[in-house]
Amino acid sequence: MNGTVAVVGLGPGAAELITPEAQSALDSATDVVGYAPYVQRVVPRPGVRYHTSDNRAELQRAQLALALAAQGRHVAVVSSGDPGVFAMAAAVFEAMEGAPQWQSIPVRVLPGITAMLAAAARAGAPLGHDFCALNLSDNLKPWSLIERRLCAAVSADWVIAMYNPRSRARPEGFGRALGLLRQHCEPQRLVVLARAVYTPQESIRVLPLSEVHADMADMQTLVIVGSRQTRRVASYVYTPRWGG
């Protein structure tokens, strides 16, 4: 049985942002495993088996991929953006860690363009100096840890890219994060709200912190909070390459 697993990043939305390496893994897969909306982004091929599952079922999905590979299948596990950023690659290794019989299966992680990079490119260059990425979902960690990291990032004056700012199941988190930011940052601090980047529904808004409301973000939004240096030039927003 010489099955394999490729954990593939589909990029933020548009087909042109899928790397040739990722596309070639999709073209040679016998099985595609993933959250339904991501599997739907893969152009179907005859003979390929598609295994879709619910958003929260990451570990079961990873176990399914490894079980299929153990039967000799060539499995592509799909994530949006990059598979290593708050996505399936870590889930595959978590599943492998708990199952010695799967540890000889070759797993390749194929990078993709993560939402933060696509959003930043659309806005200009807000990530031009030091930055960090924070997942605002408290599904897998306590909210107190999110607050602690957010405060640390603000005090270090990093630009902060926020993934999963708000969902129907977690409507209050982004509002709480805004409350914390307002305590520590000046009202004119720039915030980029990048929604559905590289899809037909794309919208990019740049606002001072004082004008940002919690309902401006949803689960398709990537939020970039600027550092003290982040500024506008013409219709762009950028962070200069120096700190301080």
Q: Helices in 36-190 by DSSP H: which ranges?
A: 36-39, 58-70, 88-97, 115-123, 143-155, 173-184
Cβ closer to ligand SAH: 158 or 163?
A: 163
For 31: left if phi > 0, alpha if psi spans -120 to 50, otherwise beta; the answer is beta
Going by C-alpha positions, the residue among 51, 29, 27, 48 that lies closest to residue 38 is 51
Q: Measured from the CB atom, is 220 or 227 closer to ligand SAH?
A: 220
For the CB of residue 12, give the shortest distance to ligand SAH in the complex, in Å.
4
In whole angstroms, the minimum distance from the beta carbon of 8 to ligand SAH comes to: 11
Among residues 29 and 222, whose Cβ is nearest to ligand SAH?
222
Q: Tell me which residue of 6, 76, 89 sits closest to 41, measured CA to CA.
A: 76
Closer to ligand SAH at the Cβ: 170 or 231?
Answer: 170
- Minimum distance from CB of 180 to ligand SAH (Å)? 18
Q: Residue 111: what residue type?
A: P
Q: Which residues bind ligand SAH (CB under 6 A)?
A: 12-13, 79-82, 85-87, 114-115, 119, 163-164, 194-199, 219-222
State which residue has the least CB distance to ligand SAH: 81
For tokens 């405060």, the residue is 151
Q: Residue 65 CB, nearest distance to ligand SAH (Å)? A: 16
Whole-number Å distance between alpha carbons of 130 and 169: 31
As measured in angstroms, the least distance from the Cβ of 162 to ligand SAH is 7
- Minimum gap (Å) between residue 85 Cβ and ligand SAH: 4
Question: CA-based angle 201:226:143, to the nearest 5?
Answer: 80
- In sequence order, what are the beta bridge partners of 161? 133, 224
